[in-house]
A and B are shown apart, each in its own frame.
Chain A
Amino acid sequence: MIESIGRRAVAAVEAVGRVGHFVLDMLRAVPDVATWARPAVVQMRRIGVDSLPVALFIAAFTGVVLALQASYTFTGAVPLYFVGTLVGKTMMLELGPVLAGLALAGRVGASMAAELGTMKVTEQVDALETLAYDPQSYLVVPRVLAGTMMFPVIVAFAIATGIVTGWLTSLALLQLSTPEFIKGLKIFYQFKDVWFGLYKSATFGFTIALVGCIVGLRTRGGAEGVGRGAMQTVVYSAILILVLDAFWAVVLL
């Protein structure tokens, strides 16, 4: 029993050490702009443009549900224009970044882990090295950079979409006027609401891409290993997003 706990503790410390070493290696590769610039543009398009429909779809329905649930909760007790407040605040501070993050952990993280894992098991990563490419510069930096930069963009669109669908729902189903909805949106609004959500989403993007790269480049065991890596990436990313979400709430709010 004690031996088992000890083994797990050592494994956990080793894992933290490996992640630290990986991040240091990645930072050391950052000055090699000539290598990562082109693949970074490709990754930004993949992560940004290709992921947008999923994020917007989720945000659109979240906005609808938020407006209806707010109205249901407020009935008779709170003025209805506070629907705008709740939709706006919730989309900006929490649901925009977190729901998009969780959805993209599957869409982006799993795909990165699978792609890099396949490259690893088919020796394409070794081939890169023998051609004098640093895999950190060519594979990792572009993905992590693209994740960090594009997630806030995706989340910004998701927040806007959620607010618009919340507004449309209020007009169509709650008999709330546009000026009333906007009045609610403006009450208690702070600029911090926006940057908090976007900053948080940048850290989610960084984390998802980093986990996808670490797991992908440590893949072993052929197709089964690739599948396992993709699954692990989704699980680890989802856990880390929720932990980070709580962390930033404690630190920044």
Chain B
Amino acid sequence: MIEFQDLHKGFGEKQVLAGLSLTVHDAETLVIIGYSGTGKSVALKHVVGLLHPDAGDVIVDGQAVSTLDRDELTALRRGIGYVFQFAALFDSMTVAENVAMGLRRRGLSDEEIEDRVLEALALVDLSGTEERLPAELSGGMRKRVGIARAIALRPRYILYDEPTTGLDPVTAAVMDRLMVRAREHLGVTGVVVTHDMRSAYTVGDRVAMLYEGRIRQVGTVAEIQATEDPVVRQFIEGRPE
């Protein structure tokens, strides 16, 4: 279980998170929606300790992330896969080497690593791309390699940062299907940050809206679709006013 407890984070004068509290239950996929620049990715980065909170904390399986020392944080990260908005693939490495990167830290044999790499790439429909470089892939393929890199670790949690942003509708639908497949095949708990409502409705068990640094509303997809909160309604309907 992941719990955001009264999380505060600012950058200079700008207060991005102002008391974010939210719980992600085991085996669910929770989607965090919100306007661009409202701190969705910032919240996600706190889960793996890439950012340190000004106040509050994120609790993962009972461990307060900001209090962990380096070794404890490394151990925590081994159980969490992170899919970056622009994939963040290592551009000097092949696709296979990218997917194998995290596995090499786990003391697996070369055969095991190769098996896991092939399995993960097959799961994201990218078999046969092992020797290609990230520069030779399309944006959608890069994001799928990012997912393969995360699921190859067989993590308990996967955090997706804007997985469909910048993709055409068909490729975005493919990404949605992969996220659903990752949950169904691997049973992982997922947190998806997005402002793509179609994607949110497809992959989410629950949806939470982040607004002005806090959760404005959280509920099932049906509850969010039926909301009467004017801020949430405006956002999910994509109305300018």
Chain A residues at the B interface, C-beta cutoff of 8 Å? 119, 122-124, 126-134
> Is the beta-carbon distance between B101 and A122 smaller than 8 angstroms?
no
Residue contact B102 to A131, C-beta cutoff 8 Å: yes
| Inter-chain contact B74/A134, CB cutoff 8 Å | yes
A123 and B84 within 8 A (CB): yes
Cross-interface CB contact of A129 among B50, B85, B89, B153, cutoff 8 Å: B50
Q: Is B88 a contact of A132 with CB atoms below 8 Å?
A: no
Please state if A127 and B88 are interface contacts (CB–CB under 8 Å): yes
* The 8 nearest A-B residue pairs measured at CB: A131-B102, A123-B88, A127-B88, A130-B82, A132-B77, A132-B105, A132-B74, A123-B84
B16 close to chain A: CB less than 8 A: no
What's the count of A-B pairs with C-beta under 8 Å? 48
- Main DSSP-derived SS at the B contact region: loop
Q: Number of residues in B with C-beta < 8 Å to the partner?
A: 23
In the bound complex, CA of A133 to CA of B90 (Å): 13
Given contacts A122-B86, A123-B84, A123-B86, contact A130 B77 (CB under 8 A): yes
Q: How far is the CA of A149 from the CA of B127 in the complex (A)?
A: 41
Closest B-chain residue to A119, C-beta based? B90
How many angstroms from the CA of A129 to the CA of B70 in the assembled complex? 11
Contacts of A131 in B (CB 8 A): 77, 101-102, 105, 149, 153
Mask for B59-82, Cβ within 8 A of A = 1, else 0? 000000000001000100110111
27 contacts between A and B (CB under 8 A): A119-B90, A123-B84, A123-B86, A124-B88, A124-B89, A124-B91, A126-B45, A126-B50, A126-B84, A127-B82, A127-B84, A127-B88, A127-B89, A127-B90, A129-B50, A129-B77, A130-B48, A130-B77, A130-B81, A131-B149, A131-B153, A132-B74, A132-B77, A132-B105, A133-B101, A134-B70, A134-B74
Q: Which residue of B lies closest to A115 (CB)?
A: B92
CA distance A126 to B102 in the complex (A): 13
Do residues A124 and B90 form an inter-chain contact, with CB atoms below 8 A? yes
| Cα separation A127 to B77 with both chains bound (whole Å) | 11
In the bound complex, residues from chain A placing their C-beta under 8 Å from that of B90 are: 119, 124, 127
CB distance from A27 to the nearest CB of B (A): 14
Q: Do the beta carbons of A130 and B86 come within 8 Å of each other?
A: no
Closest chain B CB from A225 CB (angstroms): 16
Q: Give bound CA distance, A52 to B48, whole Å.
A: 42
Pick the contact of A130: B70, B80, B85 (CB < 8 A): B80
List the B side residues contacting A126 at CB < 8 Å: 45, 50, 82, 84, 88
A122 to B135, CA, bound (A): 13
Contacts of B86 on A, CB cut-off 8 Å?
122-123
Residues in A with CB closer than 8 Å to B74 are: 132, 134
Query: Hey, which chain B residues are within 8 Å of A119, CB to CB?
Result: 90
Across the interface, which residues of B come within 8 angstroms of A130, CB to CB? 48, 50, 77, 80-82
